[in-house]
Structures are given as structure tokens and as C-alpha cells.
Amino acid sequence: MAPMPPRSPFPWYLGGASLWFAAASLQVFLLQWLFVGELGIRPMDYGLIRAFLETPALALLLVGGVIGDRVDRRRLLVGLSLLACIPPLAIVATADALSFWPLVAFGASLAFLQSLSDPARQSMLSAVAPTDMQRTVTVMTIVTTLTGIGGYWVGGQLEALGLRTVLAIQAACFFASGLAVLRLPPGVGGGVARPGRGLASGFVVLWRLPLLRNVILLNLFSSMFNAGAYLVGMPFIARDIYGGNEAFFALMMMVFTAGTVGCNVVLLALMPLRRPGRAFVAMQLTRIVILVALWLEPPQWLFFVLLAAWGVNMGVTSTVARAMVQELAPAEHRAQVLSVFLFGFMVAAPVSSLVLGAVIDFAGPTTGLLPGVPVSLMLFAGALAAGLWRFESPSAAGRAGGSA
């Protein structure tokens, strides 16, 4: 009798990542709605809070990249999952009289843990990938995003379930994520970086690889006023333009995320894309139409249609950019390169929070969408100049059926 082939570790990896993402999505919802919907803070103050929460985590993200290249990532992720259970359980004690500073501490602690875990989790993906990197990243995006919708749904039941129950569910997801990662074989994705490499290693690698550097820079500017407009502007659009409660805001996030899932299902059928950069370039122009239409404050049914379209746009942009970075990053520095990739997204976050918070405070919630229009035009021109239109994916090399 022939021996059974070894089981792929990918399902356990995917389970751990999905459960973490569900809890993290619930965290995004809770911070946005509790500050804006429950405490009723102004847009300027909300922008300041987001910047305060996001800025300190930047340094930890780079540290996380170095750690992820040097230690057993499996043990690291299990430990961080267990630590992540503590903040939601701690905030339960103040759930009846929620106040500003406990909520800030809650957000900051989980932001720190997220910064340490993301580079290790992302870099481990190449070690457990069951197929080419484009398809693996897309499957990962689809499944984790679906669980993220589940996290938003739980957040939408805040009034029915109560804050204590919602926080307990979040802690349970973090704990279950650690259990799933624990089932991975010891040593999967273990650190391979050579000794003596410090925080600057990821930046040194990028300096030597212009195309990889360009993809990360373009993603940084895309995050600043496109993803930033979604994260900063949406709770105020829900509250002030459409008069929505927490269930309405959760539905907004679910519709947006459903658009992201749908586009990734289509991408999965088309992959491997021979020229993925062309999809990135095209999304910059279609986003302009979506942002302007949302700025016009359409009726509610059309607003949700446009939200889904924006989710499709953001999903294509982020999946294609992440897949290109995964393909182009050298294996021995992948965690550090990915930490720089995530670092770019997080650098954009406090900047967009401060700028868009001020814009919304001065001119209204939908005005926060408008800076994304000229930024998208600049990204379109920049992506063409950077060579993304001509880039051919290694995953699709030699495959006659690859899509352009």
C-alpha cells in the first residue's frame, strides 16, 4: 500500500488567518462606530485619534518584519493570538460606562499586536502555498474577507447582543486563530534571514529592485486618500448623511467587502494574470467615477451599489499589488519586504486621518472623498511611468492560457 501523501498545511494557515481577520474586522467596526456613533466625536477629533493610534504601530511593524525573518513564525503567531485575547476581555469591565481613554487603550494595544503579527503571517504564506502565488493570494483574500464580513455582521448586532458579548466573540476568534496556527507543522515558514540584518534590510532590498519599490510606493499613495477616505469618511457618511445606526454602518461595510470578495472570485478564475499591472492601472480611472458619484450623495439604493463597486475596485487594486510584491520579493527577505509594504499602508493612515478629518470637519462627510480623485489620476500616470503596464508575472510565464 502506497504511503499517504503529506497533508497540506495551507488549510490550517488559512483558518488561523481567517479567524484573526474576523476579529480584526470586528475591531475596525468597533473603533469606528464606538467613537463616532456612541461617543459622538467630531471628524477632526476622530482624525487625531486615528493618527494617535496608528503612528506608534509603524515602528513595531518594521520590528515585526525583522522578527518574522529570524524566529519560528508559528510560535510567534500563536503567542500574539493569545495576547490579543486580553484587550477585548479587559474592556468588558468598562462596557456599561464606555469612556474615551479605555477605548483608546483598547485600539492601541490591538494595533500594536497587529503590527507584530502581519509581516510574519504574510511571509509564511509562500511556505504553505498550494499553488502559484497569484492564486494563493487570491484564495487567501476571498476566504479572509468572507470571515471579515462575518466580523462586521457581529458588530451590526451590537445593540441586540450587547458590547460584552461582542467583545467575548472577538476574544474567542483570536484564541481560535492561535489554535489553528498551532496545528501547523513546527518550522513551517521558519526565519531564514542571515544574521546581522537590521530594520533597514527591507529598504535596501527595495532600493535594488526598482519595480518592487514602485509597486509599494504606488500602493502607499493609493492608501492615503482612497482607502483613507473609506476608513475615515464612512462612519460620518452613515451617521450624518443617511442617519444610520450601527446596523446600517455594518451593512455598509458588508456591502463594500462583498464587492471585494466578488472581484477576487473573478480574479481567481482568470489567474494567473500575465500582466497584472494592467489591472492596477485600469482601477485608478474607474475609481474616479465611483468617488464622484458617491460625493453627489445618491439615494440609498444607489449608494449601496456604488459601495459594492468601490469594493470591487479596492479589491482588485490590493490583491494585484500584494500578489506582485509576493512574487517579486526575495525569499530570504520576504518578511521584511512585506513589512515595508504594510508600513507604506500604515504611513498613509495617520496622514489621511489628519487631513481627511480636517476636510470633513470643515466641508462635510462626502467632501472627504474628493482628494481621491486627483490622487487616482496621479496614480494612473505614475503606474504607467513605473512600467506596471509592461510587467509580466513570473507565475504566468510560459503559460499559454494566462490572461493579459
What number is the average pLDDT over the span 236-251? 93
Q: How many whole angstroms separate alpha carbon 170 and alpha carbon 173? A: 5
Q: Cα separations (Å) of 71 from 83, 129, 190?
A: 18, 20, 6
Whether the pLDDT of residue 239 is over 80: the answer is yes
Q: Which residue in this structure is represented by grid cell 458588508?
A: 254
Q: What one-character DSSP code corresponds to residue 93?
A: G
- Report field, pTM of the whole predicted structure over 0.75: yes
- Per-domain residue ranges for the chain? 10-185+198-396
Three-class SS of residue 403?
strand
In tens, the pLDDT along 30-77 reads 999 999 988 888 998 988 888 888 777 776 766 666 676 677 888 889
Q: What was the pLDDT predicted at 174?
A: 97
Could you tell me how far CA 226 lies from the centroid of its own chain?
A: 13
Whether the pLDDT of residue 244 is over 50: the answer is yes
What number is the average pLDDT over the span 92-96? 78
In tens, the pLDDT along 192-214 reads 444 445 456 667 777 777 888 88
Higher pLDDT among residues 347 and 132, named by residue: 347
Decide: 365 and 43 in contact? Cβ < 8 Å.
Answer: yes
- The angle that helices 334-363 and 210-222 make with each other, rounded to 10 degrees, is 30
Whether the pLDDT of residue 299 is over 80: the answer is yes
For 276, the grid coordinates are 497584472
Decide: 226 and 287 in contact? Cβ < 8 Å.
Answer: yes
- 10-185+198-396: which CATH architecture? Up-down Bundle (1.20)
Q: pLDDT tier at 173 (50, 70, 90 boundaries)?
A: very high
What number is the average pLDDT over the span 127-154? 83
